[in-house]
Amino acid sequence: MEKLKEKSIELIIIYKRKQLCLGFFETSRNILENVDINFIKVYYKVINALGGIPMKKIWLIMTTLVLSITLIGCNNQEEEGVYSLATWAAGTELSELQEIVDEVNEEAEGEFEIKINSIPSNYYQQIAVLMGARQAPDMFWLTQEIVPKYAHDLGALADISDNLEDSEKLNLDDYYEGVIESTYYDGSYWGLPWISNPLVVYYNQDLFDQAGVEAPSETDDWDWNEFIDKAEALTGETNHNGDDVYGTVIDGWPNLETFLWSGGGDVIADDYETIVLDSEASINGLDNLHEMITKGITPRYGIVDSLGGNNVWFERQQAAMFMGGVQDDFEEKIERMDEEDKFELGYAPMPTNLDGSKSSFNWTASTVLHKSNEDDPLAYEAMEALTLKIFDWKIAPPVKDSTDKIIDSNPDKEAMIPTIEHTLQFARSGHYIPEWDGTSGINDRLWYDLYLQMLRDEDFDYVSAAEDIADFSRDLIGERE
Amino acid sequence: MTTIDTVNSKHPILKKRVQQTINYTVIIMGAIVMIMPFVWMILSAFKSADEILKMPIQWLPEVWNFINFKRAMEVQPILRQLFNTSLLAVIKIFGEVFVSAAVAFGFARFKFKGKDFLFMLLLATLMLPYEVTMIPTFILWSFLGLTDSYVPLTLPAYFGAPAFIFFLRMYFETFSKDLEESAMIDGASWFAIFWRIFIPIGKPALITIGLWAFMGTWNDLLGQLIYIQSPSKYTVQLGLESFSSLSGETLWGPLMAASTMALLPIIFLLIMAQKYFMEGIKTSGIKG
Amino acid sequence: MKRSRVGFLFILPWLIGLILFTTFPLIAALFIGFTDWNIAGNANWVGFDNYIELFGEDAFWNAMWVTFRYAIVAIPMTTITALVVAIVLAKDMRGAGIFRVIFYMPAVVSGAAVAIIFKWILDANFGLLNGFLELFGINGPDWLGDPSWVFPSYLILALWGAGSGLFIFLAAIKDIPRSLYESAIIDGASVFQQATRITMPLVTPIIFYSLVMGIIGAFRKFTDAFILGGAGDQGEFVMVYLYDLAFADYQMGKATALAWILFMIILTLTVILNVSKKYWVHTE
């Protein structure tokens, strides 16, 4: 027994010297060095108990063989300068991305090459499998809420703070603060955001005219009280089809943070540590939400799906305002409508919060670099080049002074530019921590135990619920090792 | 006497009719329940996205547009994927059906040392959830450099499939012992007995297994996701997944159209299988 | 060649395959269950901690309860349904072929598509099921949104897919010699008696198979539960819990330990069933 263990450790050392697959070694070595001798004894006892003599021999041989394979087994002959990019893009999005990557590769002139690895479904699961097999992609896409988990808990990401500061092509200052914040955690930056999709208020000018309500301006600030007043005035109108009109649609979208921020509160404070879900400001925000629900300015939660989605209400002129992302394609949809159904589209920024601050929830995604590439400047260069090219593709590019790019790639958004520019100044992400996601993560609780209940039941005691979840979250953070 | 007794004794023809009507009614109701979701899916292939998601469910599209099919084929090379998947399935089925039959034959008709232990081992492999061995298996295959190919999905098939072995063993065990006796007297080799007697008689079961094997391959999104990367090797399931994305909208119309196109081969296969299945049963004759 | 040798040769392909493809993953899985591997980093030995922690988690017991409850009800239910339908369709009635295909179809569609379709069907306000019930003046419940109705929802889903056992039961039924039925009819047996005295006993091997596979299937139920979920953790089957542990919490060590626990449970149940075999399963 001892001999077996020793022999295996010997093997590990030999192969380590040969610089093969270090990742595996740490793992196997850990196991072998720390395995309790008792376990191995039990293991061999069990083998002895099973079957006849031939089986035992076979099994022992197999085990040894297998352990050895574990130690040798590794296939990472990566070519120099070729980097894999994992993405969830598929279908049309994938072909567009492929075009972009081809351009980047061309311009790199042989210095580096990016290869796309498209994972059309079960994205995070597949990333996990690849990581587990020590075949993690060099770069991959992540949505913002999951960055802290990958950076902190899993230690899978490369810290690119220095690269960002030193870079000439894409510098920290080039990014809007609210956007680069989404890849910030625990003192470092972990990825390059490639899209910024903040919330704005779309509105139906025709319905506003019909109700005699003054429309919000495209860049001047208005606050939530004005929003609610206008929504109230619009609710109850009838549109050209004879349907009832509501002020807006709230069915879980916009996200809860938007309402917490409306009161000046949040889930987690700036320090990424303190839970402020139950602070006075946050409760004010929830009061705000409650007011909107009870005043009936939005269709009831249960019937929103009856038209096929919250946006459909706006498209069918049954909601006068819609809080949607900059990326939403209402312009296109209106183009394709019958003449009598078309309406004039107006844009306004999100209302100012009750404490005077301005915010607009920003959906971002970033490309991150796997930790194994931390000391490889070429890898960062490739990722940077890719990100810069994506700015020409997606709306809205998260860097300052790039509104002309929007016009180039999406000409029908031209009328929206003033609002987009204005909004990008104060667009922001949530503050995410590793405990956000996952089974019984904070996010789940916020939806099932708070937001959903508020939408369904006007008498729901949301203050207690908020306090409960706040305490629960504090416990989670406390359990962190 | 109850009505049924009266009916039974006095009117044999009426009794038969009543029974038949009851049978038919129940079966038809059941069939409607089974088939409704499919009907909805197929009809949805002709609708626009709004109509699909609408509730209460709208059955018939307002306009029967074929644009979804066109769009679906633009987004994904569906025909190619159908071909790929069929190829994959055929290769797998062949291995799984015949090798499993052979192994089952061994377990069913012979005694040898460790047989019970080995069979328990076989059952045990069925019981372990795949998530657990997923990553180590992937490591194994990438060590051999065989990822992004059909090999990890097809090679194991030629070593038998435990679920099928289990089933076929039960099935073969029900065959009468005399079958082998007479053949042995004639001096036939064991393999001949297997191939010439058990396989033909077992046709219905084999067809069933073949059907399962086909379904298994067709629906194996996970395995295909893990081991296939190049789009040219994509299967139907992977193609269908490409219609929705984390950073965009789901293309419902084309998705329904693609799903319908994916469904057709299966229905076709089912009908064929059903026919041969019943034929096989008729000709299997005396089994014991 | 000795007969036993021949037998061993016949099963050899499977055995070789087992050694080649399953040994390494199995042993690796065994070890991983004793570590705290979080996929991205290294694995540190923690002994039985994973197991102990699991037994202390509410979510674990909830998952066990949800899965067990489902298994106990759904398996007999679907087996009986498949058997009954097979008996009926075994006769050569008109259109039997088409019906056989129709009843089998649900089992053929992949789990994900089924789950999505059923999500619409089970919708509280506008789903097909409640719409149907309304025709009878019944106000259908919030199937997936009300914790008490989640379990029945999954039973409905199971019933819908019951046809997967159809073909194997058909095969078994068709194998029963007509002569047995004929003599029974001469003796004056009713249809019901024929079914219970002749068909069922002779079909017991297949029932046995169905039950075993059913147990295994119920404990490994994943895809549809993953998509449909269910209010208040009532849809969190063991496999969903395991998947979340592995890929949402990245606690691969714990997830693997859970898998081994599952394995032991299924093994035990199967052994029990196997032992009971001689009491009720008919063999030549």
Domain presence at residue A233: yes
Q: What is the pLDDT of residues A247-293, one digit of tens each?
A: 999 988 899 999 999 998 999 988 888 899 989 999 999 999 999 99
Q: Do A319 and A436 share a structural domain?
A: yes
- A interface test, pick of B118, B131, B142 with most A CB neighbours within 10 Å: B142
Domain presence at residue A188: yes
Specify the amino acid at residue C177.
Answer: P
**3-class secondary structure, C151:** helix
Radius of gyration of chain A (CA): 27
Q: Do A245 and A220 share a structural domain?
A: yes
Residue closest to A295 by CA, chosen among A217, A208, A227: A227
Q: Do A203 and A287 share a structural domain?
A: yes
Domain presence at residue A425: no
Domain presence at residue A424: no
Structural domain harbouring A215:
198-361+432-478
Q: Do A332 and A301 share a structural domain?
A: yes
CB contact under 8 A, C244 and A36: no
Q: Is some CB atom of chain C closer than 8 A to the CB atom of A438? A: yes
Least confident of B209-223, C91-105, C233-247: C91-105
Category of B166 on φ-ψ map: left (φ > 0), alpha (ψ -120 to 50) or beta: alpha
Q: Do A336 and A285 share a structural domain?
A: yes
Q: Do A206 and A298 share a structural domain?
A: yes
Domain presence at residue A421: no
Choose the closest CB to A26 out of C42, C124, C244.
Answer: C42
Q: Do A337 and A202 share a structural domain?
A: yes
Q: Do A226 and A355 share a structural domain?
A: yes
Q: Do A472 and A370 share a structural domain?
A: no
Rounded mean pLDDT for each run of 10 residues along chain B, 288 residues in total: 52 75 80 81 77 66 79 80 87 90 88 84 82 80 79 88 88 79 78 81 82 83 82 81 65 78 81 76 48
Which tokens in the block code for residue A440? 């019984």
Query: At C114, is the pLDDT very low, low, confident or very high (cuts 50, 70, 90)?
Result: confident
Domain presence at residue A210: yes
Chains near A (3 or more Cβ pairs under 8 Å): B, C
Q: Taking a contact as any Cβ pair under 8 Å apart, which residues of chain C between 182 and 221 contact chain B?
A: 190-191, 205-206, 208-209, 212-213, 216, 219-220
Q: What is the pLDDT of residues A345-368, one digit of tens each?
A: 999 999 999 888 888 999 888 999
**How distant is the Cα of C31 from the closest Cα of chain A, in angstroms?**
8
Domains identified in chain B and CATH numbers: 3-65 (no CATH), 68-284 (1.10.3720.10)
CB A130 within 8 A of CB A137: yes
Domain presence at residue A423: no
Q: Which residues contact A35 (CB under 8 A, 6 or more apart)?
A: A5, C45
Residue closest to A84 by CA, chosen among A374, A365, A383: A383
Least confident of A43-47, A126-130, A137-141, A351-355: A43-47
CB contact under 8 A, B117 and A94: no
CB contact under 8 A, B165 and C263: no
Q: What size, in residues, is chain A?
A: 481
d(CA C107, CA C213) in angstroms, rounded, equals 14
* pLDDT value at residue C124: 73
Average pLDDT, chain A: 83
Chain C residues whose C-beta sits inside 8 Å of any chain A C-beta: 19, 23-24, 27-28, 31, 34-35, 37-45, 47, 59, 123-126, 241, 243-250, 252
Complex ipTM value: 0.77
- Per 3-state DSSP, what percentage of chain A is helix, strand, and coil (rounded to 5)? 55, 15, 35
Chains near C (3 or more Cβ pairs under 8 Å): A, B
Q: What angle do CA C223, C224, C229 make, to 5 degrees?
A: 110
Which tokens in the block code for residue C241? 């819990």
Choose the closest CB to B53 out of A120, A143, A308.
Answer: A308
Choose the closest CB to C110 out of B56, B124, B237.
Answer: B237
Residue A78 has pLDDT above 70, yes or no: no
Domains identified in chain C and CATH numbers: 55-280 (1.10.3720.10)
* pLDDT value at residue A173: 85
* pLDDT value at residue A291: 92
Residue A233's domain is classified under what CATH number?
Answer: 3.40.190.10
Q: Do A445 and A335 share a structural domain?
A: yes
Kindly list the residues from chain A whose CB atom is less than 8 angstroms away from the CB atom of residue C19. 58, 62
Kindly list the residues from chain A whose CB atom is less than 8 angstroms away from the CB atom of residue B224. none
Q: Do A323 and A270 share a structural domain?
A: yes
* pLDDT value at residue A250: 92
Kindly list the residues from chain C whose CB atom is less than 8 angstroms away from the CB atom of residue B139. 28
* pLDDT value at residue B263: 80
CB contact under 8 A, B117 and A143: no
Place of tokens 């119309």: B253
Residue closest to C102 by CA, chosen among B26, B237, B36: B36
Q: What is the pLDDT of residues A302-334, one digit of tens each?
A: 788 777 678 889 988 999 999 998 888 888 888
Give the count of domains, chain A: 3
Q: What is the pLDDT of residues B60-115, one digit of tens each?
A: 777 777 888 887 887 778 888 888 888 888 889 988 999 999 999 888 888 888 88
Instruction: For residue B223, list its beta bridge partners.
Output: none
Q: What is the pLDDT of residues A147-186, one digit of tens each?
A: 998 998 888 899 999 888 888 888 888 888 888 888 989 8
Query: At A48, is the pLDDT very low, low, confident or very high (cuts 50, 70, 90)?
Result: low
Q: Do A233 and A327 share a structural domain?
A: yes
Average pLDDT, chain C: 82
Residue C9 has pLDDT above 80, yes or no: yes
Choose the closest CB to A120 out of B50, B114, B238.
Answer: B238
The alpha carbon of A309 is separated from its chain's Cα centroid by a whole number of angstroms, namely: 21
Q: Is some CB atom of chain B closer than 8 A to the CB atom of C139? A: no
CB A224 within 8 A of CB A349: no
Of A39-43, A358-362, C84-88, C226-230, give the range with the top mean pLDDT: A358-362
CB contact under 8 A, C113 and B55: no
- C interface test, pick of A439, A443, A445 with most C CB neighbours within 10 Å: A439
Domain presence at residue A426: no
Q: Is some CB atom of chain C closer than 8 A to the CB atom of A449? A: no
**Exposed, middle or buried by CB within 10 Å (0-12, 13-18, 19+), for C180?**
middle
d(CA A446, CA A452) in angstroms, rounded, equals 8
Looking at residues C122-136, what average pLDDT do you find? 75
